[in-house]
Amino acid sequence: MNNSRLEIAQIPVLSDNYLFLIHDPTSGETAIVDPAIEEDTVAALNARGWTPTHIFNTHHHWDHTGANLALKERYGLTIIGPAADRDRIPGIDIAVGEGDQVHLGDIAADVIFVPGHTSGHIAYHFAGEKVLFCGDTLFAMGCGRLFEGTPDEMWSSLTKLMSLPDDTAVYCAHEYTMANGRFALTVDPENPDLKARMAEVERLRADGIPTVPTSIGIEKATNPFMRPMSDHIQETVGLIGAPITAVFAEVRKRKDNF
Ligand code: ZN
Ligand code: FE
């Protein structure tokens, strides 16, 4: 799926987080996306011989920023994070928001403001590489819990991500796919794409294989949080013809109680 100029390493950490390393072989620059644990991050870098130049944080939660200060001290790297969460990102050097760009060598990522899971959450979109790092906003067949945002905010954030090209690789920060898919089937049980995908996910997870990255196209076809306009989902949750955000809110509420 990934034929970009970037080399991307994906390392499982904690119980279900993914740590990502993004390496530009031309410049040698390397970014760490959302480091939770110093030791795991250092080991992953050493295994590849990469020296990190940046941390890209998507949001302030500890499982995404826990190693910021230790890694900054160790490598003297530059920490980039959400402007709206500037005070909650340890060691932040550069605060960015919607419309800003960050660079790894000559390769640019657009910053997309995606509040909902937290009030300051951002995503990094390498448009030329068709790669998205979206933290805890969009998951495979799921979306982040609304700790600091409303359903309307999260729906508007997901709408921005849905406008990206279908073949954009989506690197989400947790392996929640199996549980998300089980829930998705309760609100969208007749969706053939969803049923086929769940069969595939069960095979992958039985062998311990990651289901991340996913893609925008796959999510638009199977993720109930991207499909509140679906007649079938509206019928299942008893909200035929209701406003899209009301359907989205109901699906999110059901997932919270699943
Ligand atoms: Zn989070
Ligand atoms: Fe998280």
Helix (H) or strand (E) holding 154: helix 151-162
Q: How far, in Å, CA of 143 to CA of 138, rounded? A: 4
- Quote the pLDDT of residue 2: 52
pLDDT by 10-residue block (mean), the chain, 258 residues = 81 96 97 97 98 98 98 98 97 98 97 98 97 98 98 98 98 98 98 98 97 98 98 98 97 97
Strands of the chain, DSSP E: 7-13, 17-23, 30-33, 54-56, 78-82, 94-96, 101-104, 107-113, 122-126, 131-135, 138-139, 142-143, 169-172, 214-215
CA angle 69, 37, 108 (to 5 degrees): 70
Q: How far, in Å, CA of 70 to CA of 9, rounded? A: 20
Annotated catalytic residues are 59, 61, 63-64, 117, 136, 174
Counting ligands in written order, the one closest to the CA of 174 is 2
Local structure of 141: helix, strand or coil = coil
How far, in Å, from the CA of 30 to the mean position of ligand 1?
A: 23
How far, in Å, from the CA of 206 to the mean position of ligand 2?
A: 23
- Quote the pLDDT of residue 4: 79
How far, in Å, from the CA of 237 to the mean position of ligand 2?
A: 27
Neighbours of 26 (CB within 10 A): 12
- Provide the whole-model pTM: 0.97
How far, in Å, from the CA of 61 to the mean position of ligand 1?
A: 5
Q: Provide the residues around ligand 2 (an ion) whose CB is within 5 A.
A: 63, 136
- Quote the pLDDT of residue 115: 98
How far, in Å, from the CA of 18 to the mean position of ligand 2?
A: 9
